[in-house]
Amino acid sequence: MYKELLWIFTQLPDDYIVLDTETTGLPDENGLPDIVTLGITVVSNREIAESVEFKTRPQKRISEEAQSIHGITNEQAAEFKSFDSQWSQMAEYLNDQLIVIHNASFDWPILLDHVVRHGLAIPEIQGVFCSQKAAIPWAQAMNLPCSHRGPSLDTLTNALGVDDLRVKLGGLHGARIDSRQTASVLEAMRRYQLASNLFQS
């Protein structure tokens, strides 16, 4: 039902990347949080081809709330490599790609902040697509739980019957697994809408 409201997802290219981060917490009076892990899933010809995760040593302490979400402690994060030492590898994945992020208004500014902070440069990209915002019309029409940011990844996973990868981690979030989960949801929405078109034609 209301599959036509997912039309925008059929306009995604066959090849793109999904990006996700886990951080030290939320933005506060001291600015944006630090990245603890950055996950990238590569979608090639509408299929998940690769998922990677970069663990980066934060300059800020990880809040207790954030630790409860992703399970990474300050002691563990202190052993990670610095962000700037891994940026060239990250940037290779971003180069000339459409970057899909579930809640782009959170993750993308944090990534840009790190790039500027370390005197680095973002490679040429095709753009940034927020899958959470794009899913709002369908989620609202379906009476799914939907915040001002849009439906959560868990909500879309359940609504579309997509395999929940977080279950294997006891419900913990992870940048790699969440980027992969988002890719699975995106392609499920694309198939859902395209199937409707085929049925009607």
The structural domains of the chain, ordered by start, are 3-200 (3.30.420.10)
The tokens describing 135, both together, are 């899913």
Give the whole-angstrom CA distance, residue 4 versus residue 36: 38
The separation between the first and the last C-alpha atoms of the chain, rounded to the nearest angstrom, is 16
Give the whole-angstrom CA distance, residue 17 versus residue 40: 7
Q: Kindly report whether the global pTM for this prediction surpasses the value 0.85.
A: yes
Give me the pLDDT at residue 196, please.
53
Give me the pLDDT at residue 192, please.
83
The tokens describing 192, both together, are 């859902």
Residues with Cβ within 8 Å of 106's Cβ and at least 6 positions away in sequence, in order, are 149
CB 132, CB 50: distance < 8 Å: no
**Radius of gyration, CA atoms only, the chain:** 17
Residues with Cβ within 8 Å of 190's Cβ and at least 6 positions away in sequence, in order, are 6, 9, 10, 12, 46
The tokens describing 196, both together, are 């409707």
pLDDT tens string for the chain (201 positions)?
Answer: 888 999 999 999 999 999 999 999 999 998 999 999 999 999 999 999 999 999 999 999 999 999 999 999 999 999 999 999 999 999 999 999 999 999 999 999 999 999 999 999 999 999 999 999 999 999 999 999 999 999 999 999 999 999 999 887 788 899 999 999 999 999 999 988 776 544 343
CB 89, CB 116: distance < 8 Å: no
